[in-house]
Amino acid sequence: MDRPTKAKAVKRSAGRPRAFDRQKALGIALDLFWRHGYGGVSIGQLTAAMGISPPSLYAAFGSKETLYREAVALYLDRYGGFMSGLLDDRRAAREAVERALQEVARQFGHADHAPGCMVSCAELQAAPDNAALVMEMAKLRQSAQCALHGRLEAARTSGEIPPTTDTASLAAYYAMVIQGMAVQARDGAKTALLKRLAVLAMQAWPE
């Protein structure tokens, strides 16, 4: 990590240079994994879509599993912005959640990429061999919900929402909403409908 292995395109280490765009290939993997899941995409489909051969893929990404993890990281980086909006403490909690759900609706229904949420629908059902990945993705969802819980708890102690509010259930509720919206989007729901769902979901807000 600290060695200048491939930090910049300018500074290149010895050896034959890569003949393909690693980031673009990763983006292709992201799209395939998003649509079809880990087990639903084969190395053959990946290499075909990337226009490279298996050895090139393995030299660049290590294994199918590490490629998947890297694709998830790219997803969070590219499309996971609504989570930071959800937690934004420069806004009132209610406004932050309301805006985040609207952003989720926009995001999940966007036509430029796969519908829904890669993480919400990730490995909900998977082969027993992929138990490690299954657990990782579940933990990813759990940690997001946990962060929201923290934000809501802060809102409770600051008096933004009633002191009797069950913030754990409320966090689970909005996690559920986002996960449900992801399924709806996967099944073809457009942004307009998703936004209406977001509005309805906000009626559960305390007070």
Check residue 69 for interaction with a second copy (CB under 8 A).
Answer: no
Give which of DNA, a second copy, none residue 165 binds (C-beta under 5 to 8 Å, depending on kind): none
Of 72, 97, 121, 152, the one binding a second copy by CB under 8 A: 121
Check residue 204 for interaction with a second copy (CB under 8 A).
Answer: yes
Nearest to 100 by CA among 23, 163, 194: 194
Give which of DNA, a second copy, none residue 16 binds (C-beta under 5 to 8 Å, depending on kind): DNA
Helix (H, G, I), strand (E, B) or coil at 12: coil
Minimum distance from residue 134 beta carbon to a second copy (Å): 9
Helices (H), 40-130: 43-50, 54-61, 64-79, 81-87, 93-108
**Segment lying near DNA (by CB under 7 A), choices 59-67, 83-91, 98-106, 195-203:** 59-67
What torsion, rounded to 10 degrees, do the Cα atoms 113, 198, 72, 109 define? Answer: -10
Check residue 149 for interaction with DNA (CB under 7 A).
Answer: no
Identify whether the C-beta of residue 201 lies closer than 8 Å to the C-beta of residue 177: yes
**Segment lying near a second copy (by CB under 8 A), choices 1-9, 63-71, 153-161, 176-184:** 176-184
Q: Which is nearer to a second copy, 57 or 133 (CB)?
A: 133
Check residue 89 for interaction with a second copy (CB under 8 A).
Answer: no
Identify whether the C-beta of residue 141 lies closer than 8 Å to the C-beta of residue 149: no
Of 84, 142, 143, 158, the one binding a second copy by CB under 8 A: 142
Which residues fall within 8 angstroms of residue 78, CB to CB, at 6 or more apart? 30
Q: Give the rounded distance of the alpha carbon of 33 from its chain centre.
A: 12
The token pair that represents 111 in the structure block: 């036509």
Binding footprint of DNA on the chain (CB under 7 A): 5, 12-20, 41-45, 52-56, 58-60, 63-65
